[in-house]
Every structure is written in C-alpha cells, then in structure tokens.
Amino acid sequence: MKFGVVVFPGSNCDDDMVDALENLGQKVVKLWHKEKNLQGCDFIVLPGGFSYGDYLRTGAIARFSPIMSEIVDFAEKGGFVLGICNGFQILTEAGLLPGVLLKNTSQKYICKNVFIRPQNDDTLITYKLPRKKAYKIPIAHGEGRFYAPEKELQEILANGQVIFRYCDENGNITKDANPNGSLENIAGICNKKGNVMGMMPHPERASNALLGNTDGEFLLKSIIETISL
C-alpha cells in the first residue's frame, strides 16, 4: 500500500506521520499542497500543524490549496483519507466531513495525553480495535471542540459516524474526560461511506517506544491490516 502525506505551509506533523508509517513497513511519499497529482497513492493523510498560520480560521485557507480538489475527487470516488488535528479541520472546511472544530471551551491551547475509545468497527482505523479499550493518544490544539447543529449532530450519531470519543483511562466516557468541550465527547468522526476519517488526537505521536507510548500504532496497524484484507 502507498500512503501520501500532504504538506501545507505550516504543517509540522508530516515527518512524524511519515516516520510512523515507514516504521510499520509502508511506502510513503510527501505530497506538496500545490501539486495536482496524488502519485498513485492508495491512502491520503492530512497531517497536523498550523496550515497557513491558522489565519482566518483553522483549515479555511488550506481547503483551497490545489491538491485539495484532487483529494475531494479521490474521496468522492471512495478513496481513503485521514485528517489528523489540523487535517481534520481542513476536511470539515472542505465539506468532506460534517461539523466544525471550534475553540476549546478553556480558550487555551492544550497539549497533553488523553484517552480515547473506539465507537464502531466500521472504518479502517477502528476495525481491529476492541471497542471497550481506552487508548492513550496525545492532543495538541487550540481549536478542537467538535460542534454540529442539533439536526446534523443527530444524523452523525444515527449513522454511526462517531469513530472515537474522549474517555478516562478505564474507558468511561465522562464530562471530566472531555479536554475541549466537544459535543458528545467526540474525538473523531467519519463520513457516511466511512472512507474519510478525521480525529483531533495524534496517533503518530504515540507510535514509538522511545516516546514512552505506542498506543497510536494500534490505530495505524488497524488501517494497514484492514485495507489489505
């Protein structure tokens, strides 16, 4: 399988993702945001960072980068896309995922380890994950509060589009475990088809024993093992 990691001006987690995927034996190429060629990639990743300095609104400018028209077409044809943190924000701005990411309720930038729990097994990133297990994955964002109007939120819930929720270390989904005020403790969602996924926590930052945490590898391995079935 060939992964493509998109690089925007201000991306800062692209190398982390490339390293995590290569350490799992995958072929990975970087895709500059001005390109219009996905180089035959089977899976596209929009990494974290601060694309275009987060001016106007997070992801609002990156959404118009030339490569995004190709990614939208790729996704609409069933291609697999994952957005992490800023990448998640870009996917909502591009209309590939519902809802929006707003400023954290604390109005502060938060960088720490949190726990998340899979909510379904219908996507590549969750298929191999036990639904009751809590995974320790770091967050690093100032605008990670997932929001959607009530009608849209109910559709997301009814369609099973929530893929991760914030929880405590025992897997309990509580208000105290919610780091940013996201509705329904939502940490990640997918589109109706399940081929486009977005999440605020960073699995690529929890994929190396030297960092003292390899929980993120379980998520990335789920993608790799499931897509090859």
Cross-sheet strand order for the sheet of 135-141: 27-32, 2-7, 43-46, 80-84, 196-199, 186-190, 162-167, 110-118, 135-141
Per-residue model confidence (pLDDT) at position 169: 97
**Does 33 qualify as catalytic in the annotation?**
no
Looking at the DSSP bridge assignments, the partners of residue 100 are: 147
229 pLDDT above the threshold of 90: no
Closest among 87, 100, 96 to 140, alpha carbons compared: 87
List 70, 93, 204, 217, catalytic entry: 204
For residue 13, indicate whether it is catalytic. Answer: no
Which pLDDT value is given to residue 56? 84
Read off the pLDDT of residues 14-35 as tens digits, 9 standing for 90 and up: 999 999 999 999 999 999 999 9
Q: β-strands 2-7, 27-32: how paired?
A: parallel
pLDDT at position 66 over 90: yes
Active site residue 35: no
Q: How confident is the model at residue 144 (pLDDT cuts 50, 70, 90)?
A: very high
pLDDT at 15: 98
Mean per-residue pLDDT, 195-223: 97
Show Cβ contacts of residue 156 under 8 Å, excluding neighbours closer than 6 positions: 98, 99, 148, 162, 189
Pick the catalytic residue from 13, 85, 167, 190.
Answer: 85
Helix residue ranges per DSSP H, 85-149: 86-93
Mean pLDDT of 211-226: 96
Confidence at residue 170, expressed as pLDDT on a 0 to 100 scale: 97
Q: What is the pLDDT of residue 21?
A: 98
Q: Determine the Cα–Cα distance for residues 134 and 138; give it in Å rounded to an integer.
A: 13
pLDDT band at 228 (very low <50, low <70, confident <90, very high): confident
pLDDT at 60 over 80: yes
- Enter the tokens of residue 129: 């994950």
Catalytic residue among 141, 190, 202, 217: 202
Q: What is the pTM of this model?
A: 0.97
**Which residues, at least 6 apart from 206, have a Cβ–Cβ distance to it below 8 Å?**
113, 135, 136, 137, 138, 213, 214, 215, 216, 217
Q: How confident is the model at residue 55 (pLDDT cuts 50, 70, 90)?
A: confident
Position 112 scores a pLDDT of 97
Residue 133 makes CB contacts below 8 A (sequence gap 6+) with: 117, 118, 171
Query: All domains of the chain, ordered by start, with CATH?
Result: 2-227 (3.40.50.880)
